[in-house]
Amino acid sequence: MSVELQTPPPPAPIVASSADEASGPTLDASTSATEPRSQRKRAEEAQSQAQRLREQVDELQRSIADAREALDNAERRHRIDLSLIEAGAIDLESARLLTEIAVAHMAEPDIAEAVADLRRTKPFLFRARPAPGSAGATMSPAPTSTPDPELACAAEDAARTGDRKSLLRYLRARRAG
């Protein structure tokens, strides 16, 4: 049993009749020429606007990247300043510059390590730390005596009157006392 496939005949060409031509729009040579030009012009304007928008997006992305970099730099500078202040830096700007250079040359940036290294290599940029237990030797002894009542009376009299003689009397008593 064999089955034959039959293909449909090709469609007949459409021929416009004179009635169709009269009812449809007529295209003259000037209309057909201006339509593609206006479409082409609109397409070119759209492409130029798309290009401008792409440039604006690129510019905004660059400015965002610049702002992000500036923020990162400011945060790093702040962390460096805090570490240097905690370490007792005398000249903060010089110490910051040296620390920033050291951090920039590190494989893994570590601010605390850079500040400790700077303190070891350039101790003149930092305040000297007193040795433990030596603080008492540099401090004056605590006052043990009670204030002299004559001195307190002279001070009160000088403050109350504002008189020059009473102020001089108070100062002499304080110096002698």
Look at residue 102 in the predicted model and tell me its pLDDT.
93
Give CA–CA dist 116/88, Å, rounded: 11
What is the DSSP-derived secondary structure letter of residue 133?
T
Look at residue 143 in the predicted model and tell me its pLDDT.
61
Quick check: 72 pLDDT over 70? yes
Q: Which pTM value belongs to this model?
A: 0.48
* Domain definitions of the chain by residue range: 36-126, 148-177
Give CA–CA dist 57/54, Å, rounded: 5
Quick check: 140 pLDDT over 80? no
* Better-scored residue on pLDDT, 170 or 130: 170
The chain-wide mean pLDDT, for the chain, equals 81
Alpha-carbon separation of residue 67 from 56, 78, 96, 134 (angstroms):
16, 16, 22, 49
